[in-house]
């Protein structure tokens, strides 16, 4: 066995064993024992093998474990999140020996290649990223220039490969469900868009493929990284949900300053069940009560998403019923109206502009704050799941993996119903 050089690069568990042995047997000087005792503990947050998603302190810890100076971790942090390096060997500011050791130990950056890029006439960009298991996941970059000429860049990120909830108007649900995304697979979507646009992402919305609340642990870890490491303000981040029992309470307990957006799409339970099948397990009164408690606990108002479907939920009577529902559960709510973005094979149609304006006016006249989302990227298949469905009608993997995905989907739905 090599002497101190081997000890320096050995796992922390072995160092701890050596320390205990030295103390119990009286071997070595006090100075030697003190040096061994000073070996820092392994960070509990460290995700073995993947650098993306790790904090600066995690990366400093990693550098120490490989016998490097602590500042090497800060260098790694800058290279990953500012320069967006994709491969271990391209981390050129750190020593070659360190890079080799990271690679030999199985570490990787954790970035995925862009499988397809589509740009719309309005500047909206949709990317398909090819994950390590050959699954495809979407992310959308939406640039908006204000009156002063400054550009806001919003990243619409996915939290799952597909979605098990299958809302009737959504292209993602029609494409099936494969698995949850890992936190680094969420974070890398933002980094990929920043590379394409050559500018910082200013806003993030968890409104892409998937139901974020069915993957809350990874979503919260990605949220931490986006806020702390990529430095996007919490108030610039929105987490959207169609509603999963008990998860709004769990999210409230973290007391984030981010916005919670709840997809209602209907002013009553019967119509909501028609549009959102999963609503059967989460009654409208229950979800509204959870939203009320969320406001009380976080002091952050809840935003309600409402997709307008022509002839289904877009009449003035629907608007009046929606206003009554919101007033019943208290103040502090906002409604974001979303004219339906047409998708292939859907029975739903986009409402006329006159119907959208009448719906909005009916809410405003009843003192409900409302906004109408500008439709972007129609010529880039920008509705959630559209582009992915064009290239991946079924998972790229074999039948065994498809069967496994279906089993995962069933277990996710069972969890939503039973929780």
Query: How confident is the model at residue 13, as a pLDDT?
Result: 43
- Give the CA dihedral 83, 88, 89, 91, nearest 10 degrees: 30
| Residue 320: HSE in the Cβ half-sphere, 13 Å Cα cutoff | 3
At residue 173, φ and ψ (nearest 5 deg) are -60, -35
Beta bridge partners of 240: 261
* 166/210 Cα distance (integer angstroms): 9
Q: Give the predicted TM-score (pTM) of the model.
A: 0.81
Tokens of 380: 């880039």
CB atoms within 10 A of CB 321: 17
Query: How confident is the model at residue 159, as a pLDDT?
Result: 97
C-beta separation of 177 from 161 below 8 A: yes
Tokens of 302: 């809840």
Q: Which of 156, 384, 409, 412 is catalytic?
A: 384
Catalytic, 138? Answer yes
Widest CA span of the chain, in angstroms? 86
Domains observed in the chain: 1-39 (no CATH), 44-109 (1.10.150.530), 114-418 (3.20.20.70)
Could you list the pLDDT tens digit for every one of the 419 residues in the chain?
A: 444 444 344 444 444 443 443 444 443 444 444 443 444 444 444 445 899 999 999 999 999 999 999 999 999 999 999 999 999 999 999 999 999 999 999 999 999 999 999 999 989 999 999 999 999 999 999 999 877 878 899 999 999 999 988 788 887 777 789 999 999 999 999 999 999 999 999 999 999 999 999 999 999 999 999 999 999 999 999 999 999 999 999 999 999 999 999 999 999 999 999 999 889 999 999 999 999 999 999 999 999 999 999 999 999 999 999 999 999 998 878 999 999 988 877 889 999 999 999 999 999 999 999 999 887 655 545 445 455 555 544 444 433 343 444 444 344 434 433 33
Beta bridge partners of 108: 50
C-beta separation of 164 from 385 below 8 A: no
Query: How confident is the model at residue 48, as a pLDDT?
Result: 58
CA distances from 32 to 22, 37, 256, 354 (A): 9, 9, 45, 80
Catalytic, 117? Answer no
- CA-nearest of 111, 96, 28, 110 to 66 is 96
Q: Which of 65, 138, 221, 409 is catalytic?
A: 138
């Amino acid at each position: 066995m090599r002497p101190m050089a081997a000890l320096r690069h050995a796992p922390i568990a072995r160092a701890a064993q050596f320390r205990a042995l030295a103390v119990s047997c009286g071997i070595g000087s006090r100075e030697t024992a003190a040096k061994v005792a000073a070996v820092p503990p392994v960070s509990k947050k460290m995700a073995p093998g993947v650098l993306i998603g790790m904090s600066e302190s995690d990366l400093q810890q990693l550098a120490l474990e490989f016998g490097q100076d602590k500042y090497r971790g800060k260098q790694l942090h800058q290279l990953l999140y500012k320069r967006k390096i994709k491969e271990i060997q391209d981390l050129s500011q750190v020593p070659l020996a360190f890079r080799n050791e990271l690679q030999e130990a199985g570490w990787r950056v954790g970035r995925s290649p862009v499988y397809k890029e589509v740009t719309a006439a309005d500047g909206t960009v949709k990317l398909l990223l090819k994950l390590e298991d050959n699954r495809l996941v979407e992310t959308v970059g939406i640039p908006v220039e204000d009156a002063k000429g400054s550009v806001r860049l919003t990243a619409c990120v996915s939290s799952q490969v597909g979605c098990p909830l299958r809302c009737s108007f959504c292209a993602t649900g029609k494409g099936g469900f494969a698995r949850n995304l890992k936190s680094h697979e969420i974070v890398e979507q933002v980094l990929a868009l920043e590379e394409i646009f050559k500018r910082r992402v200013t806003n993030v919305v968890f409104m892409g493929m998937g139901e974020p609340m069915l993957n809350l642990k990874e979503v919260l870890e990605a949220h931490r990284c986006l806020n702390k490491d990529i430095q996007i303000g919490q108030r610039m981040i929105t987490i959207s949900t169609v509603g999963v029992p008990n998860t709004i309470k769990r999210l409230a307990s973290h007391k984030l300053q981010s916005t919670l957006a709840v997809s209602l799409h209907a002013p009553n339970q019967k119509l909501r069940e028609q549009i959102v099948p999963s609503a059967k397990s989460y009654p409208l009164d229950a979800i509204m009560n959870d939203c009320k408690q969320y406001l009380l606990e976080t002091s952050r108002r809840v935003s309600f998403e409402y997709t307008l479907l022509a002839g289904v939920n877009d009449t003035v009577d629907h608007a009046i019923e929606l206003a009554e529902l919101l007033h019943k559960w208290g103040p502090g709510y906002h409604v974001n109206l979303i004219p339906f973005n047409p998708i292939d094979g859907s029975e739903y149609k986009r409402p006329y502009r006159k119907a959208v304006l009448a719906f909005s006016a009916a809410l405003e006249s009843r003192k409900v704050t409302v906004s109408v989302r500008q439709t972007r990227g129609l010529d880039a298949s920008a509705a959630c799941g559209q582009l992915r469905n064009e290239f991946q009608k079924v998972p790229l993997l074999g039948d065994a993996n498809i069967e496994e995905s279906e089993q995962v989907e069933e277990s996710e739905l069972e969890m939503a119903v039973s929780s």
